[in-house]
């Protein structure tokens, strides 16, 4: 029996892949997974099977679950050498690569109630990679703006070097990797594909081994929860910054609370598997002041969010990412896989909860959320780097209850950050049309103020899917290249 699905994604090919999944009898999970796979082909500057995945899923009639497929640092990583080389982790290159979590994340999501086979869900992505797909405006801009990164790597330059918008790019090596995953996804971690990728990474200078790949598992766990706007909200626990979103959600003074939450996150977020993480502190349930911690460079491409809800009430919001545009700046030629640079988020401070250690997972910006109330199920997610919590908080109430989610995601927004939004000092970045009182508040929060000339990528790419009163709706942010549809 087919079901209708509301789906939003940042590229039309992803929504078409979701449409094919629904036509084949899939539900919201199948549509989201098909869309996510397609995005790894057509948006390689933002996501890849060489990246990570975090999601929140609500099976129809069931309790929401969080999926964290965050890859760890190599077991034989030389922490002392990294500390001797500088004060910060390398922002790209082989030492910034951690085990990719996307494929195991897809498997964990499928196990929560998907209907279709791997071959059915990945068929559109494999076709896009083998036959070729047009270069989108966003991909073309990144190839141009990050030409130094693309040309510096033999793998990237061979596939993407010199391409312009509208050119067709085929990725046969990636098509072969996706085909192998469709036959048996475990090959990415414990089979032939894992060994080929590990060997390629070793040749590029990475300490990751096949044993590191074999050790990876996706974590399926209880989400963090909070009440706000008349609903129960669910977000992923650490090392995701989901607690930061819940800390600011529904705040009377969102800017002031976001500044407090930002400082707490930068000081407290880490991996609970390798040390204590103060979740109450992240949720601002304890008092305390934190000194500012300098953010890393601007993440640029960063992330894609996919949201889907079906008429049965199954909902998923997933985010997958390579972090910076083209991630580590490495495409492993034998497999066609772009590798992320999530390891650059580790701290080299041995006292920090997010410190690098063998087998540790880095602090993560990905921040998907689901809300439930009465007859409404909302899936909400965004691109936006470290600003995702306050981006989502600005649209949460009206995407939950407003009549037109598309109008809500198109409204002007603000973000706060420093180097992660392109400024040396901590700055409030305003889109035109926001209240003047925000700039006045910023003066008391040690924030510079900048106003953009229009809607801006730094304010995030929000994706929304909703079932309310039996009616499905979806919205895709006008700041991105995507679309939303009820399939």
Residues with catalytic function: 303
Query: Read out DSSP for 147-172?
Result: HHHHHHSHHHHHHHTT--TT-EE--H
Q: Are 246 and 76 in contact, with CB atoms under 8 Å apart? A: no
Length of the chain: 487
232-235 — which CB contacts under 8 Å span 24+ positions?
232/371, 232/372, 232/373, 233/369, 233/370, 233/371, 233/396, 234/56, 234/58, 234/64, 234/66, 234/369, 234/370, 234/371, 234/372, 235/56, 235/66, 235/367, 235/368, 235/369
Give the C-alpha separation, 311 to 182, whole Å: 27
CA 114, 466, 303, 136 dihedral sign is positive
Q: Measured between alpha carbons, how far is 203 from 198 in angstroms, rounded to an integer?
A: 9
Angle separating helix axes 12-23 and 28-42, nearest 10 degrees: 140
Q: What is the DSSP string of 69-87?
A: E-PPPPTT--HHHHHHH-S
Strand 461-468 vs strand 471-476: parallel, antiparallel, or unpaired?
antiparallel
Burial 453-484 (b: 16+ CB within 10 A, else e): eebbbbbbbbbbbbbbeeebbbbbbebbbbbb
Nearest Cα neighbor of 244 from 395, 120, 369 is 369
Alpha helix positions (H), 161-275: 172-183, 187-190, 192-204, 210-214, 242-248, 254-268
Of 301, 305, 298, 265, the C-alpha closest to 284 is: 265
Count the Cβ atoms, other than its own, within 10 Å of residue 351.
6
Cα(first)–Cα(last) distance of the chain, in Å? 14
- Region at 166 (left for phi over 0; alpha for psi -120 to 50; beta for the rest): left
């Amino acid at each position: 029996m087919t079901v209708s699905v509301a789906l939003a994604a940042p590229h039309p090919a992803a929504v078409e892949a979701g449409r094919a999944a629904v036509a084949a009898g899939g539900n919201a999970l199948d549509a989201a997974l098909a869309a996510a796979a397609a995005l790894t082909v057509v948006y390689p500057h933002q996501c890849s099977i060489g990246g990570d995945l975090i999601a929140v899923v609500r099976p129809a009639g069931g309790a929401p679950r969080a999926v964290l497929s965050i890859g760890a640092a190599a077991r034989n990583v030389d922490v002392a050498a990294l500390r001797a080389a500088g004060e910060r982790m390398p922002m790209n290159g082989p030492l910034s690569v951690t085990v990719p979590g996307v494929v195991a994340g897809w498997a964990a999501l499928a196990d929560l109630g998907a209907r279709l086979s791997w071959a059915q869900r990945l068929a559109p992505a494999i076709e896009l990679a083998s036959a070729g797909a047009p270069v989108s405006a966003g991909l073309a801009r990144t190839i141009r703006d990050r030409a130094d990164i693309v040309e510096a790597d033999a793998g990237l330059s061979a596939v993407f070097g010199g391409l312009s918008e509208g050119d067709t790019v085929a990725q046969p090596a990636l098509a072969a990797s996706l085909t192998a995953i469709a036959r048996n996804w475990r090959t990415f971690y414990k089979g032939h594909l894992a060994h080929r990728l590990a060997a390629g990474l070793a040749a590029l200078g990475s300490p990751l081994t096949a044993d590191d790949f074999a050790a990876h598992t996706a974590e399926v766990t209880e989400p963090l929860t909070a009440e706000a706007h008349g609903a129960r909200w669910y977000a992923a626990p650490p090392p995701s910054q989901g607690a930061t979103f819940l800390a600011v959600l529904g705040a009377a003074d969102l800017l002031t609370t976001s500044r407090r939450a930002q400082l707490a996150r930068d000081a407290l977020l880490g991996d609970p598997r390798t040390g204590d993480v103060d979740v109450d502190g992240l949720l601002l349930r304890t008092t305390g002041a934190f000194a500012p911690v300098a953010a890393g460079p601007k993440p640029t491409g960063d992330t894609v969010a996919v949201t889907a809800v079906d008429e049965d009430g199954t909902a998923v919001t997933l985010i997958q990412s390579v972090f910076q545009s083209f991630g580590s700046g490495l495409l492993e030629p034998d497999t066609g896989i772009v590798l992320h640079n999530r390891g650059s988020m580790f701290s080299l401070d041995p006292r920090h909860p997010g410190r690098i250690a063998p087998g540790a997972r880095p602090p993560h910006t990905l921040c998907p959320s689901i809300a439930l109330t009465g007859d409404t199920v909302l899936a909400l997610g965004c691109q936006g780097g470290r600003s995702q919590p306050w981006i989502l908080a600005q649209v949460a109430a009206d995407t939950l209850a407003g009549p037109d989610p598309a109008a809500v995601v198109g409204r002007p927004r603000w973000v706060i950050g420093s180097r992660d939004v392109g400024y040396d000092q901590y700055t409030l970045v305003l889109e035109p049309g926001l209240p003047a009182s925000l700039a006045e508040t910023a003066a008391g929060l040690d924030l510079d103020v900048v106003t953009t000339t229009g809607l801006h990528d730094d304010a995030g790419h929000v994706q929304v899917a909703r079932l309310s009163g039996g009616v499905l709706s979806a919205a895709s942010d006008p700041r991105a290249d995507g679309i939303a549809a009820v399939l």
